Amino acid sequence: MSSQMFPQYSTVKFTDVWDEASEFISDYKNNGIPTSIADASASTLYYLLYARYGNNPIANRDMTQFKYKIFSVIFQYGPTWEKRLDVQSKLRNLTDDQIRAGAFAMYNQAQNPATAPSTDTTDELTYINGQNTTRYTKSPLEGYSILLELLDTDVTEDFLKKFNICFKRFVSSERPLIYVSEEDEDDGN
């Protein structure tokens, strides 16, 4: 005879609030707080939150306040998370030539041009009579070394931790435990 124990909490779980990404995105887009990340990122975030907090009871007894907490965290930290994901993707997709590319500097000289230069503008002179350039190329070792310093293994963990405030800190059964045995299941109880 086997029995199962079902913990009872005084608040609902994340999966009780949203059990599908489409519901989460709909609430996200229609809650009064401006959206700050794209729909695709919101969908990804839903699954990340589900994986991390799916069976966690929410901190609020008021489900609306819980939703506003979630959407506030997204509004505050979501755009930076989304940009970091984008930058990391671009870094991972650099070609070998792009990794080895270095700085380029151009120095122009204009002796006695027909126009007087201004000190409060960034406009370039239209006349030059001398030019020096420097084009720097990194060695493969240097290029990859710089790339590895810029690559982050994970840019999502810190963002997901921001949602801790939305969930109960100490998760334990807050109501009497309900035990269900095979006999109860067979009897329909």
Phi, psi (rounded to 5 degrees) for 58:
-75, 160
The domain ranges of the chain are: 3-187
Give the model confidence (pLDDT) of 127-143 as tens digits: 777 788 888 899 999 99
pLDDT band at 118; cut points 50, 70, 90:
low
Residue 72 corresponds to which tokens in the numbers above?
């506030």
pLDDT at 1 over 50: no
Q: Are 21 and 44 in contact (CB under 8 A)?
A: no
Please name the residues in contact with 38: beta carbons below 8 A apart, sequence gap of 6 or more: 82
CA distances from 163 to 56, 58, 138, 171 (A): 12, 10, 41, 15
Give the model confidence (pLDDT) of 133-180 as tens digits: 888 899 999 999 999 999 998 999 999 999 999 998 865 555 555 566
